[in-house]
Amino acid sequence: MMKRVSWMFSLALACGGGSGETTTDTGTGTSTSTDATATDATGSDTTTTTGTTDAPTSTAPTSTADPTTGEPPTTGTTTTTTDPTGTGTTGAVDPPPMSLADIVDGELALIADGHMFTEGPIWSPEGYLLYSDIPANTIFRWAEGEQPTAFITPSGNSNGLAFDAMGRLLAGEHGGRRISRRTIGDPDAETVVGEFEGQSLNSPNDLTIRSDGTIYFTDPPYGIQPNQQELDFQGVFRVDPQGQVSLVADDFDRPNGIVLSPDESLLYVADTNGEHVRVFTVEPDGNAVGGDVFVDLQSDLPGNPDGMAVDAFGDLYVSGGGGVRVVTPDATVLGTIEVPEQVTNCKFGDPDGKALFITAQARVYRIRLKVAGA
């Protein structure tokens, strides 16, 4: 098998920079983004106050979607298929990507702006994107050709989102300090888990769901004040299909993004303050064991490892370090999809699964790819 080579594919926009601080004029106000040393949900010890429930009013989200694709140089064999977004064609990669040129198939496009702090993007089976605005206490909905709109308010200051096999929406809630689940359209959500061994969870952050219904989630303290913390650790947890909660690991500093490999045999967890991603082996019964460092992602660029996604080849897409870093299953870093502000999370979407949606402070971006999500 050919060895993949590391190559930086630059997608920096004119407003990008390496200082970690970006000031953006949204047209209705000024939004300032800071690096991980000053932003609670991306790796610092600053906490998010969850008492604020007012949705943003002076900076209403606007859509400036431009999914026009570009054609960077490619290596290996590609085939051409119709782009379901109506923007032309997209190259479909047959062998595993060897470089970012084998992955990226378009330009970074801004699809939403004017938010407070975006997180948790997830593509709905119904054909639209949902994402959280944590301080605004709202889950927003975006669809092709439409403006972003408030979809669920209040959201429990939701962060990570996921759909289960029944199409129900699960959320890691900072304000609710729980994993919640709701049927779309229902006004209320039920609590899947809100405590461990009689103590309240910290502030569930991100989650991933195995095909049998097992839920894995991270529980850092970003959404609470120090005096509110009952558990004396920041853990990674598992909820089995029967609803039983068990601890996967309690030795994380700030567990954050979490995702399963395509075959569900591996569980990846980002430790934001550790600036690395750890990997666990998932046993047939769903128990996850191990936890060695999979890849070290220390960087001087804005953002430490945060939310993650995985493609059909098992490549990891890790937020932080100047954008989204792409890491192969053998821990080779292919390069960085650069974003002009600090990234918080990313997930695959679009009807064919070949777009990466990226949340970044007050904004949401999309970039078309040649590979599909797992």
Residue type, 53: T
Which pLDDT belongs to residue 95? 84
HEC readout, 311-329: ECCCCEEEECCCEEEEECC
Which pLDDT belongs to residue 17? 35
- The Cα 303–Cα 319 span in angstroms is 8
The contacts of residue 166 (CB under 8 Å, 6+ apart) are: none
Per-residue pLDDT of 264-273, as tens digits, reads 999 999 999 9
Q: Which residue positions in the chain have pLDDT lower than 50? A: 1-93
- The Cα 256–Cα 233 span in angstroms is 14
Domain 22-368 has CATH 3.40.190.10: no
Count of CB atoms within 10 A of residue 3's CB? Answer: 8
The contacts of residue 57 (CB under 8 Å, 6+ apart) are: none
Which pLDDT belongs to residue 125? 93
Which pLDDT belongs to residue 324? 98
What are the domain boundaries of the chain? 22-368
Which pLDDT belongs to residue 98? 92
Residue whose entry in the numeric block shows the structure tokens 């709109």: 149
CA distances from 263 to 279, 312, 330, 360 (A): 14, 9, 15, 29
- The Cα 61–Cα 77 span in angstroms is 40
Which pLDDT belongs to residue 130? 98
Beta strands, E only, 144-300: 149-152, 158-163, 169-173, 178-182, 190-193, 195-196, 199-200, 207-209, 215-219, 234-239, 245-252, 255-260, 266-271, 276-282, 288-296
Which pLDDT belongs to residue 195? 97
